[in-house]
Chain A
């Protein structure tokens, strides 16, 4: 289980997160929903130890993640996998872009080869395995990054707007991969979105975020169908809820 408690983060004088708590357990899909600039990405970055929180706690399977030493932090990151909103591709082939996470973990080349091929097939990129990653379209690049995250068989998956660049057909593929990862592999999934339809399709739990504040948190069906907070209801109706 990944648990964040009372996490605060500011950049300069700008408060990004104001006491956010989140619990994500294996086999369930947690969704952080909110408008642009609400702090969704920062939560994932903090959970992946790419940013240090100003205050708060992070626990993974009961261990205090923020108290880990440098080598243990690397081990923690190897148990998690993050997919960034903007695809970050290495100047290598499609195959090597997926294989890099396994190489970093020192996994045997033959075993790695099979896993990479499976991951590429799962995201429909196997035929492009020899192409340069930089020649891919935005949607292909996004799927490639997802394959790169899935191939390491992480215990937790942090996905920052994983379908933002995808067309409907590819969105279905990616959502199916996420769903299967949670239901079959019982992995922890935390994903961000500003798309309430996607949240409805995927999420078991929802955290609604606005200007760094948790407005509402709970079971997805309850939050989406009967929001307690007026602000959540307005956001779900598509109304402007800024300010």
Chain B
């Protein structure tokens, strides 16, 4: 491979990784944040079971998601006719499925942590139901953003599921993580390390941006140990 080809391939791999993860996380957030918020805002029968299920799914092994999605998208599977196996869309679907419980579970926790007395103060101020929901979600915004950061971090560094359903096809479904596995197996450690550094640095920049949004106008949160106390 000459240098132009390597450059082109690296750009293609990096772009695909961030396009797939970006679309998966954005669409998962659109669905999971409202669902997690509803879960936090309302009590209903079976809520405890649902929360337990979501917490369990937060630790869903990616390779199992990949296997189930593979079987669903394969020719004999339920979604076989859509012909999505070994496409970027299949990779997006895998990451979307894995991100949903993470964003939903952490958004639910963030909403649940909003103090009841703040809810009551908002009601007392004469808020309508919709205004109350907006206030609560805004209060939980740091936790909700944290759920996106966590889901993004998990998805961009995931390899098992996208390998199974994407197939690691050059210039088409080869992502940073699957390429690292491939080049390591081929003994091309230089390329593998270079891609690893790209993955780390670009993830860092994106997380830096998300963390900036998270901490904007409020500094660092949480308990602090007093200074000068042994």
Contacts and interface: CB of A to CB of B under 8 A. Distances in A.
Same complex for A and B? Answer yes
A50 B126 contact: no
A74 B118 contact: no
Contacts of B127: 74, 104
Given A91-B139, A91-B218, A104-B131, A77 B126 contact: yes
Contacts of A75: 126
Q: Give chain A's interface residue range (CB within 8 Å of chain B).
A: 20 to 34
Interface stretch (A81-89, A120-128, A192-200): A81-89
Contact of B125 (A86, A91, A93, A104): A104
A77 B117 contact: no
Interface residues of B, number: 19
A100 B125 CA distance: 8
Contact of B124 (A81, A132, A134): A81
A157 B127 CA distance: 17
B126 A104 contact: yes
Given A84-B117, A104-B131, A90 B124 contact: no
Contact of A88 (B115, B217, B219): B115
B200 interface: no
A214 interface: no
A155 interface: no
A191 B149 CA distance: 46
Contacts of B83: none
The 6 closest A-B pairs by CB, nearest first: A78-B126, A88-B121, A88-B117, A77-B126, A101-B125, A82-B124
12 contacts: A50-B120, A77-B125, A81-B124, A84-B117, A86-B117, A88-B115, A91-B142, A100-B122, A100-B135, A105-B126, A134-B218, A148-B125
